[in-house]
Structure 1
Amino acid sequence: MGMLAGQLMRALQDELFERLAEQGHPDVRPRHGSVLAFLGRDGARATELAARTGQHKQIVGTIVDELAALGYVRREPDPDDRRAKRVVPTEHGLDEIAKARAILADMEHRHADNLGADRYAAFKEAFAEVVRAQRDRDPS
């Protein structure tokens, strides 16, 4: 099961990032997607991104540094707390986010067409249930 999940993730990422490169985003990598996928137009604090992604704040900070250097995000003062910074997507970042979402939706439609809408919906529901059960397992 783990091997299949890993193979699926790699295949999805391969197609997504190939298509993003073709559409003007050749520098973005899978690790960047872990932050960009959780950014809205108003941005978020690094601590919020860390919580959403399940990654350590230091890792998120490194990814944000890379994305800022590539022109996908910028850091701005948080209007609710001047001591904090918000990670806000630039226009280039918003373009990548929109294109990534459209590509992912296209991929989902293709798989739903291939399996049939009912089978694909049942697959996603079962897959999500397995993920939840694994996350919520009793370690004892």
Structure 2
Amino acid sequence: MSRSGADLALLLLGGFRTLVDAATAELARSGHEDVRPVHDFAIRAIAAGADTASELGRRLSITKQSAAKTIAVLQERGYVARDTDPLDARRKRLQVTALGLDMLRQGETIFDELRDQWAQQIGIAELENLETQLAAMVGAQPVRFDTPGWLTHDLGEPV
């Protein structure tokens, strides 16, 4: 059966959504019921050096205001903290907390388990072939941090 290009895009998006929804549900069962997919992107960007709202906004391709809202939510939930910059006491820098790092580790473990489930469904050789083919088509680099802004085209909606 021949599919259209749009069908391919929707299948790829559906695969992403299936994995992310399952991981989000499992994280909720393990005590992180307040985590959303955009939070993972934000926490990873902060861990990689986006230590201000401006920088987080740039890395996620969202407005500074949207970044500030995301930061406020992550702080309230204990995943990130603002600490005084050791070089400039007037400046506060973001950092991922132990809880945030634990959530990321749990999420990675969950994604590994979901990958194993897919391997059981279609066979490990088929899954590895799929991964190889996708990497050849889109590149071996993981999705960029700016995916949240790209998905929403930075509508400034709450996260």
Name the TM-score class by shorter chain.
0.7 to 0.9
Cα distance 1:42–1:128, how it changes in 2: closer, same or farther (>3 A)? closer
Whether 1:11 aligns to 2:18 is: yes
Pick one of 113, 131, 136 that aligns with 1:120: 131
Point out the more displaced range, 62-71 or 28-37: 28-37
Q: Retained in 2: the 8 A contact 1:32–1:63?
A: yes
C-alpha RMSD of the superposition: 3.0
Who is 2:30 aligned against? 23
Q: Distance in 1 between matches of 2:99 and 2:23?
A: 17
Q: Secondary structure at the match of 1:77?
A: strand
Who is 1:93 aligned against? 100
Q: Distance in 2 between matches of 1:81 and 1:125?
A: 45
Pick one of 109, 121, 135 that aligns with 1:102: 109
Number of corresponding residues:
132
Q: Distance in 1 between matches of 2:17 and 2:130?
A: 22
Pick one of 71, 79, 89 that aligns with 2:86: 79
Greater relative CO, 1 or 2 (CA 8 Å, sep 6+): 2
Q: Distance in 2 between matches of 1:127 and 1:23?
A: 32
Q: Secondary structure at the match of 2:28?
A: helix
Output the TM-score relative to the length of structure 1.
0.73
Instruction: State the identity %.
Output: 28
Q: Retained in 1: the 8 A contact 2:23–2:107?
A: yes
The Cα offsets for residues 74-104 of structure 1, whole Å up to 9 and x where unpaired, read as 1112334444322212221111111122223
Q: Retained in 1: the 8 A contact 2:50–2:56?
A: no
Who is 2:63 aligned against? 56
Output the TM-score relative to the length of structure 2.
0.66
Q: Retained in 2: the 8 A contact 1:75–1:86?
A: yes
**1:118, distance to aligned residue in structure 2 (A):** 3.5
Unaligned runs of 5+ in 2: 1-5, 144-149, 151-159
Q: Distance in 1 between matches of 2:74 and 2:26?
A: 19
Q: Distance in 1 between matches of 2:32 and 2:44?
A: 15
Cα distance 1:19–1:120, how it changes in 2: closer, same or farther (>3 A)? same
Q: Retained in 2: the 8 A contact 1:46–1:86?
A: no
